[in-house]
Structure 1
Amino acid sequence: MSVHILFVCTGNTCRSPMAEAILHSKRLPNVEVKSAGVYAVNGGDASTHAKVVLQEQGIAHNHSSSQLTKGHTDWATFILTMTASHKQLILSHFPDAINKTYTLKEFVGEIGDVSDPFGGSVEMYRNTFNELQKLIELALQKLP
């Protein structure tokens, strides 16, 4: 049985695409991954700095942003958000997702939100990438 992981952020251009790319690059059997944004525009590109950081890490990722839909939430085994406000927004629109929606940090037993590099330097994106990489390693240990 496959585990479906959905990463969610705001615009689906920075954090969730990087998280999706990190997990996808691990090529784990029986793990599928997607990303979406609570306020995303469909068909947008990942941010330039996100693409630079992924390239630096040797991770290929062809991204097209997508607005979070019921189809996404129905597909997901786990919905992992970047912030508590993303989680609350999801639960207000998709209350049936309550038992599978967590902030990424909550899922791994930590407190707080994943840092948002939007509008920041490439160094901020590197820091967020490193934070995501660490959190995803911890999250993998929690998967069934």
Structure 2
Amino acid sequence: MRILFVCTGNTCRSPMAEAILKNRVEEEVEVRSAGLFAMEGGRASHHAQQVMDEQGLSHDHRSHTVTQSDVHWADYVFAMTSAHKSMLMDQYPFAADRIFTLKEFASGMGLDISDPYGGSVDTYRQTFREINHLMDGMLANLQKQSQQ
């Protein structure tokens, strides 16, 4: 299974989601992240790196702008907001049935994970906890779908 997380700049939310999931799944799940407006090759934000370090997560992240090739590669594309989802569906209509917000897929409630960019390290910790919690529902729903 191949999972792609997408946010705005690929420096905060999607790299944290990628690191969390890579830490929690077996080798048969491939995980990547990208941004709709990423500065190619940039590092994750300082606070995102700090929070991932605090959690003992490995992260040698370089930002990447989402491409058609990324979307073709992915079995599931999880956007961090409904606006990201809309943009992805507009740009890649062939994948509309594989594009979700992480929140809607994981919990069925709410759509957006707030962008911590520019916030305090505590804001990043809160975002990390939210994404980490959503992974439980996402993994459970992926397992249900794979058994159908």
TM range (shorter): over 0.9
Aligned residues: 142
Contact 2:102 2:111 in 1 (8 A): no
CA distance in 1, matches of 2:38, 2:97: 24
Deviation at 1:112, TM superposition (A): 2.5
For 1:136, the aligned partner's letter is: M
Structure 1: 4+ residue segments shifted above 4 A = none
Superposition RMSD in Å: 0.8
Cα deviation digits, residues 54-88 of structure 1 (max 9, x gap): 00001111000000000100000000000000000
Aligned residue type for 2:118:
G
Q: Report the TM-score when normalising by structure 1.
A: 0.96
TM-aligned CA deviation for residue 27 of structure 1? 3.8
What residue is the counterpart of 2:2 in the other structure? 4
Partner of 1:96: 94
1:116 and 2:94 matched: no
Percent of pairs with identical residues:
49
5+ long unaligned stretches in structure 2: none
Match of 1:82 in 2: 80
Cα distance in 2 for partners of 1:62, 1:124 equals 22
Give the Cα–Cα distance (whole angstroms) in 1 for the partners of residues 80 and 35 of structure 2.
Answer: 10
Q: 1:115, CA displacement in angstroms?
A: 1.7
Q: How far has the Cα of 1:11 moved from its partner?
A: 0.1
Greater shift in the superposed pair: 25-34 or 119-128: 25-34
**Could you say which structure has the higher helix fraction?**
2
TM-score after normalising by structure 2: 0.94
